[in-house]
Amino acid sequence: MKTLLSAILVMATFHVSAQTVLLDSYFNNEQKKDSTGKTYSWHYKWSETPLSGFSMFGQEFINNGADTATLYEAPTAANLKKAAIYIIVDADNAKENPSPNLIAQKHIDAIYKWVENGGVLVMMGNDSANAELHQFSKLSQKFGITFTDRSRNMVKGKDFPTGAVLIPANHPIFPSIKKAYLKEVSILEVKPPAKASVTMGEDIIMAVSKVGKGTVFAVGDPWLYNEYVDGKRIPADYENPAAVKDLVKWLLQQCKR
């Protein structure tokens, strides 16, 4: 009985201390109908196992002891409070959602304060034809990062080399890879406190910003969805499956809570 009680206490302690990774489904809320005609939210979701989903990305957080959750409402101080990491990906434009929920000043204020207090914000954009970048950038600019309308890696068909992003040796976020695959990327601009993290020539692909106790990681593409991390769709020298492991570990290490 004593052994069983100890095991229960250990499990309870682990559950309480697990970091929650919160995925936005308010700004990214594309709609589809299932076979019964019921409308549901899709594209870059934790539970989404097809190629368009984030199920493998989410599983990597779980493998590292974190919990995953989804936020279907606008971010506030109250609903961000228990999150260690908050991910916003591919904010809707009018093409993707006829009534998109745009990032407003009240959302920016809540998120900024949460980051200042130790939150880790992940912002994944897309090229301007496939994502809303103006309001998205109003949030990122609070941390010194802009998602521009300039795009690169515009891959045609299976011309994989066009999507190549080279990772320098001993990279602090991606120490185990040399090359990743990202397509249709919004090029970033940075100013202090933000710094470029991954570049191709003069183009900034990824950036990091430290504000207060918190961290912001920004990238111009949702690149870690199932299609490009399952190890089956792109050549093996594009190391996205290893990149997702590196990024998850680094993000969890940034958590101050």
Residue range 125-164, pLDDT digits in tens = 999 999 999 999 999 999 999 999 999 999 999 999 999 9
Radius of gyration (Cα) for the chain, nearest Å?
18
Tokens at residue 77, please? 């101080």
User: Exposed, middle or buried, 67 (CB in 10 Å: 0-12/13-18/19+)?
Assistant: middle
pLDDT in tens, 136-145: 999 999 999 9
Closest CA to 254 of 138, 140, 133, 115: 115
- What is the mean pLDDT of the segment spanning 180-194? 98
- Of 225-229, 236-240, 252-256, the one with minimum mean pLDDT is 252-256
Q: What is the pLDDT of residue 165?
A: 99
Query: Looking at 17-26, 76-85, 217-226, which range is the least confident one?
Result: 17-26
Q: What confidence score (pLDDT) does residue 40 get?
A: 84
Position 18 confidence tier, pLDDT thresholds 50, 70, 90: confident
| Six token digits for residue 41 | 């939210």
At 100, the amino acid letter reads P
Residue 4 confidence (pLDDT) above 50: no
User: Residue 10 — very low, low, confident or very high, per pLDDT cuts 50/70/90?
Assistant: very low
What would the 3-class secondary structure string for 170-220 be?
A: CCCCCCCCCEEECCCEEEEEECCCCEEEEEECCEEEEEEEEECCEEEEEEC
Supply the mean pLDDT for the chain: 93
Between residues 143 and 38, the one the model is more confident about: 143
- Identify the burial level of 146 via C-beta atoms within 10 angstroms of its C-beta, where 0-12 means exposed, 13-18 middle and 19 or more buried: buried
- The pLDDT score that the predictor gives to residue 36 is 87
- The CATH homologous superfamily of the domain defined by 19-254: Class I glutamine amidotransferase (GATase) domain (3.40.50.880)
Q: Which one has a higher pLDDT value, 140 or 39? A: 140
Q: Is the pLDDT of residue 2 over 50?
A: no
Instruction: Specify the pLDDT at position 256.
Output: 65
Q: Which of 10-24, 80-94, 136-150 has the lowest mean pLDDT?
A: 10-24
| pLDDT tens digits, 189-201 | 999 999 999 999 9
Q: What is the DSSP letter of 235?
A: -
pLDDT for the residue 15? 42
DSSP letter at 157?
A: T
pLDDT of 13 > 90? The answer is no
